Structure formats: C-alpha cells, structure tokens
C-alpha cells in the first residue's frame, strides 16, 4: 500500500503549494512538501511530462492526495527518447552516476550514450565500476582507462563489501543512478539507504507488479546529498539529438570539429574527416568513433517529422 500523508501542513490556505517529486511510477507521483508532508499526486489529462526530482506546484484534491498543476523551471533534465516517445529519468540532477560491473560485462554503446546524454544536458558524469571482488574486475577496469584518459572520474568498488568510497562523490549533489539491470544498483542503494528495500517492496505491492526490483524512479535523502534510483536500462535512444549534437557530446571530438574537408561532414564515411584521421592515428579511440557512427546513422534515419511526445 502507498503511504498516507502525515498531515496537510505543506499546503497553503488556497490548497496549493510547491513540492518536490520524490517518486515517479507510471502517471502517479509522490510529492514531498517543505515540512515533510507527502501527497500522492496525478497530472491533469493523459500526457505526463513530470520527472523525479522536479519541483512542482500541486493542488489538494483529498486527504493525502493532489493534482500537479505546474512544473517549475528545471536546471537540468536527464532523459532518453526513441522513435515514439521520450522517457524522462530525472530532473534537476547535478550528476549522473553510471553503474557498470565486472560481470556481466558492460555494453559500451549504452555507456557512451549515457555519457552523451549527460554531456548534452550539461550534467557531470561519474562512472562506477561495481563488483570489483570478481576476477573479471582487472580487465573491466583496464577497459575503462579510455574514459579516465578523457577526464571522466571512474570509481571502483564492491558494493556488497563497502559502499563508502562512493559517498564523497555524492556529497552536495543530486545524483541519478543509472545502468543496466544486474549491475548492482539496488545493492548500492540498499547499502546507502537501509529502508530502501522496504520502500521498493511497498511500491511494487501498490502497483501489483509483485517484483522487488526497481520499477520506478525514487529520490532518497542522504546525509549531505540526494540520490535518485532509476529502473535498469537495456537501451538508450537519443532521438531528441541531431548528429551535430551527438558529435559535440563526444568530448574528444570537439577540438577536431570544423577541421574536416567538408563543412557538412557527418564523420561517418566522408573523405577527409578529421575525426576519422585522428582515429587512424590512434588519437581518438576507434571504439568511440564506431559508437558515434552507430548513433549518427540512427539519428539520420529518424523521420523528418519526428518530435517529442
């Protein structure tokens, strides 16, 4: 069952007030008011563009219930999109923590796309390599040297043993934890937030899913930090970007942009491409260029009339 609000002190005399979205599941949201009151809220109409981490204005509709009237201006938005719609992950975050594991092996394209989304959104990125107690950890860490060389922070830990190495990187941030299923995100959350497992079970029961894995976005308050857990990712579409946006989001490409033979070079198969030449000379990793090209071709093939829905 969902938790009832403790009181209605968070609303003003008109029955309207500002609050923080601390859970987003389907078209239902839990909104935390400044004094700690919580309201179970819905949006007006069928379309919903509210994300966990949003500041919203709600109107009370009943005891412990409300409707979201407006979304306050966002500082950032981390989201993905495919050929049909956008999928909001978290709003107003200052950091994206991408969780990988020694086993199962990470999907490089998924990692690169998460980094592209963070770069495009002006959000810092932290790469977390979990399960370093496994024998595959040495090879997994070596594979991430590429990202260390690009200036990304790569943190190694074994969440089952000790999650404290992550704590300093979360401090003073609103971070969102993302990654493929099976990487250990839930283990990290449960270590940082002891009551998280009970909260997830509560929501799963309310939604009738019968699952205790993360099926919704949830914001947790830590000491000196806030952390949003998100459902596991299997793919990360970026249809809201143009190929030019994507190229700019690969940070090692930026000094080379504008130096190709052709001004409209897409860096896919054109002759005289400065980025391709840099890859041939090993100044740019071939794997990153390959990942970019997959993304650029996907973006070039999207319908001309495509728009966010």
Residues in a beta bridge with 56: 19, 71
Q: Are 214 and 204 in contact (CB under 8 A)?
A: no
Domain-embedded: residue 8: no
Domain stops at, among 229, 259, 282: 229
pLDDT mean over 253-259 = 97
**pLDDT band at residue 204 under the 50/70/90 scheme:** very low
pLDDT one-digit tens code per residue, 228-254: 999 999 899 999 999 999 999 999 999
Are both 152 and 204 inside the same structural domain? yes
Are both 84 and 224 inside the same structural domain? yes
Report the pLDDT value the prediction gives residue 85, as an integer from 0 to 100: 86
Length reported for the chain:
309
Q: Are 74 and 92 in contact (CB under 8 A)?
A: yes
Q: Are 275 and 289 in contact (CB under 8 A)?
A: yes
Are both 197 and 125 inside the same structural domain? yes
Q: Are 201 and 214 in contact (CB under 8 A)?
A: no
Can you tell me the distance from the alpha carbon of 33 to that of 55, in angstroms, rounded to the nearest whole number? Answer: 10
User: Residue 32 sits in which domain range?
Assistant: 16-71
Which SS3 state, helix, strand or coil, does residue 36 take?
coil
Are both 85 and 192 inside the same structural domain? yes
Q: Are 21 and 50 in contact (CB under 8 A)?
A: yes
Model confidence, pTM: 0.89
Q: Which two tokens stand for residue 10?
A: 């968070």
pLDDT one-digit tens code per residue, 43-90: 988 778 999 999 999 999 999 999 999 999 999 999 999 878 899 999
Strand 77-81 and strand 86-91: pairing? antiparallel
Are both 148 and 210 inside the same structural domain? yes
């Amino acid at each position: 069952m969902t938790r009832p609000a403790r009181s209605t002190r968070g609303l003003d005399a008109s029955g309207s007030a500002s609050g923080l979205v601390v859970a987003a599941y389907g078209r239902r949201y839990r909104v935390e008011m400044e004094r700690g009151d919580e309201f179970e809220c819905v949006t007006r109409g069928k379309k919903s563009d509210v994300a966990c981490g949003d500041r919203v204005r709600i109107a009370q509709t009943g005891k412990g219930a409300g409707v979201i009237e407006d979304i306050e201006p966002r500082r950032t938005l981390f989201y993905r999109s495919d050929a049909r719609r956008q999928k909001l992950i978290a709003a107003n975050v200052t950091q994206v923590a991408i969780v990988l594991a020694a086993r199962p092996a990470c999907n490089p394209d998924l990692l690169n796309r998460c980094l592209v989304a963070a770069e495009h959104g002006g959000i810092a990125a932290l790469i977390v390599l979990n399960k370093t107690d496994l024998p595959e950890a040495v090879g997994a860490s070596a594979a991430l040297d590429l990202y260390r060389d690009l200036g990304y922070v790569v943190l190694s830990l074994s969440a089952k043993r000790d999650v404290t190495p992550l704590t300093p990187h979360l401090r003073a941030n609103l971070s969102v934890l993302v990654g493929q299923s099976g990487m250990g995100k839930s283990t990290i959350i449960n270590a940082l937030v002891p009551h998280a497992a009970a909260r997830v079970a509560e929501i799963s029961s309310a939604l009738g899913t019968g699952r205790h894995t993360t099926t919704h976005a949830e914001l947790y308050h830590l000491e000196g930090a806030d952390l949003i857990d998100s459902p596991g990712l299997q793919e990360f579409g970026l249809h809201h970007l143009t190929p030019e946006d994507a190229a700019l989001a690969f940070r090692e490409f930026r000094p080379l942009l504008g130096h190709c033979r052709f001004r409209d070079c897409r860096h896919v198969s054109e002759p005289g491409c400065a980025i391709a030449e840099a890859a041939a000379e090993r100044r740019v990793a071939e794997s990153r260029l390959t990942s970019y090209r997959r993304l650029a071709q996907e973006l070039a093939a999207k319908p001309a009339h495509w728009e966010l829905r």
